[in-house]
């Protein structure tokens, strides 16, 4: 089968690899579309510490079932589906308590194990989710949506709450959609006007270009000096985490989705003074996949507006290069891998 392979940093090739054979309890899936995640770009640029090479990237995908054993989910050959790409051990303390997203030996497709940028994958049946009539493109956007959906469930977000999303990349925009769906009044901050325009399209009540105005002053203006009930950090930068601390209301909530790579220095007594609740967020639950699929299927949100470009599999290297050099114009980029039968 044809496979996109990161042979080493900045070197991608479409090569031939052996087609997988489904084992007991597994379905054989024909991959249709794959989304390029920030983690995939980090593997491409050599900045993903968990990636070894060569590596097949990809964990955001849609697929058509080729073969599947009898199952209680009603999945059958020909169904267009998506799947959970986080492989947990089932034995560690986190798994034993049901926190499978926090498995201490988590192995995500495309990072610690080979991913979905190939024509076929074998997948345990219990990890597959029925597409409920969604298109293959929509289903390829489910996994990144679940990341933000899960994060917004980490803190109690109530109708009428004022929420600030710091960062308007794909994860920030999906966080915006998730917060709006909870009835919150959502504002979005970024340094790029193009991304902020996209945030308006997804229901932001207002936007803040933090390269042009002081984000804390603007936050206090918007909230009449109270601060935001919930601040969501979706950049992974030290300064944006500190922005969230400063913009949050006393007794407010902070949710961290952005994966920071630098140390952050601050006087931690501010967390005590404001009695802030700080929530980390990692991966998502199976229930998040089902909820997001239902939300998209309800027609309340058009996730396809998130897609900036689609590349054929043969030009996957161009797609990775484009995202590695993204000036902010690109949101989600998909790679078309196969055709539905």
- Per DSSP, the three-state class of 1 is coil
Tell me the mean pLDDT in the region 326-335: 92
Q: What are the tens digits of pLDDT across the range 194-215?
A: 999 999 999 999 999 999 999 9
Q: How high is the pLDDT of residue 101?
A: 96
Tell me the mean pLDDT in the region 239-260: 96
Q: What are the tens digits of pLDDT across the range 103-162?
A: 999 999 999 999 999 999 999 999 999 999 999 999 999 999 999 999 999 999 999 999
Enumerate residues 6+ apart whose C-beta is below 8 A from 247. Answer: 164, 166, 215, 216, 219, 227, 228, 231
Q: How high is the pLDDT of residue 329?
A: 86
Tell me the mean pLDDT in the region 225-240: 96
Partners of 244 in beta bridges: none
Is-contact 1 17, C-beta < 8 A? yes
Give the DSSP per-residue string, 38-95. Answer: HHHHHHHHT--TT--SSB----EEEEEEEE----TT---TT-EEEE--EE--S-SHHH
Q: How high is the pLDDT of residue 149?
A: 98
pTM: 0.96
Is the pLDDT reported for residue 318 higher than 90? yes
Q: Which numeric CATH code is attached to 2-143+284-336?
A: 3.90.180.10
| Of 329 and 203, more confident | 203
- Per DSSP, the three-state class of 337 is coil
Measured over the CA atoms of residue 127, residue 16, residue 330 and residue 218, the dihedral's sign is positive
Rounded Cα distance, 44 and 111, in Å = 11
How many other CB atoms are found less than 10 A from the CB of residue 327?
7
Is the pLDDT reported for residue 290 higher than 90? yes
Please provide the average confidence, as pLDDT, over all residues in the chain.
96
Give the DSSP per-residue string, 150-184. Answer: HHHTSS---TT-EEEEE--SHHHHHHHHHHHHTT-
Rounded Cα distance, 141 and 332, in Å = 8
Q: How high is the pLDDT of residue 49?
A: 81
Is the pLDDT reported for residue 259 higher than 90? no
Q: How high is the pLDDT of residue 48?
A: 84
Q: How high is the pLDDT of residue 285?
A: 96
Q: Which two tokens stand for residue 231?
A: 């601040």
Is beta strand 80-83 parallel, antiparallel or unpaired with respect to 228-233?
unpaired
| Of 308 and 47, more confident | 308
Is-contact 304 329, C-beta < 8 A? no
Q: Give residue limits of the domains in the chain.
A: 2-143+284-336, 155-280
CATH architecture of 155-280: 3-Layer(aba) Sandwich (3.40)
Q: What are the tens digits of pLDDT across the range 33-84?
A: 999 998 999 999 998 888 889 999 999 999 999 999 999 999 999 999 999 9
Confidence band, pLDDT 50/70/90 cuts, at residue 261: confident
């Amino acid at each position: 089968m044809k496979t996109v392979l990161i042979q080493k940093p900045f070197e991608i090739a479409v090569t031939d690899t052996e087609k997988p054979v489904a084992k007991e309890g597994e379905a054989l899936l024909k991959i249709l579309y794959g989304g390029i995640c920030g983690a995939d770009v980090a593997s491409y640029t050599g900045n993903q510490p968990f990636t070894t090479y060569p590596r097949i990237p990809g964990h955001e995908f849609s697929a058509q079932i080729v073969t599947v054993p009898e199952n209680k989910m009603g999945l059958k050959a020909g169904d267009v589906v998506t799947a959970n790409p986080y492989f947990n051990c089932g034995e560690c303390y986190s798994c034993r308590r049901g926190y499978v997203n926090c498995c201490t030996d988590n192995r995500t497709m495309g990072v610690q194990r080979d991913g979905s940028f190939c024509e076929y994958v074998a997948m345990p049946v219990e990890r597959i989710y029925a597409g409920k009539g969604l298109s293959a493109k929509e289903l390829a956007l489910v996994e990144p949506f679940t990341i933000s959906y899960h994060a917004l469930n980490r803190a109690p977000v109530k109708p009428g709450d004022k929420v600030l999303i710091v960062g308007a990349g794909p994860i920030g925009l999906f966080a915006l959609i998730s917060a709006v769906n909870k009835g919150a009044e959502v504002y979005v901050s970024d340094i790029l006007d193009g991304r902020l325009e996209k945030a308006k399209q997804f229901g932001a009540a207002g936007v803040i270009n933090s390269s042009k105005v002081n984000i804390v002053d603007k936050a206090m203006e918007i909230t009449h000096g109270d601060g935001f009930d919930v601040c969501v950090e979706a950049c992974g930068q030290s300064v944006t985490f500190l922005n969230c601390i400063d913009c949050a209301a006393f007794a407010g909530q902070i949710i961290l989705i952005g994966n920071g790579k630098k140390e952050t220095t601050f006087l931690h007594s501010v967390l005590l003074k404001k009695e802030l609740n700080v929530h980390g967020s990692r991966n998502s639950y199976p229930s998040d996949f089902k909820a997001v699929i239902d939300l998209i299927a309800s027609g309340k949100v058009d996730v396809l507006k998130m897609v900036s470009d689609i590349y054929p599999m043969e030009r996957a290297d161009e797609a990775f290069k484009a995202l590695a050099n993204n000036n902010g114009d690109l949101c989600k980029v998909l790679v078309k891998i196969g055709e539905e039968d």
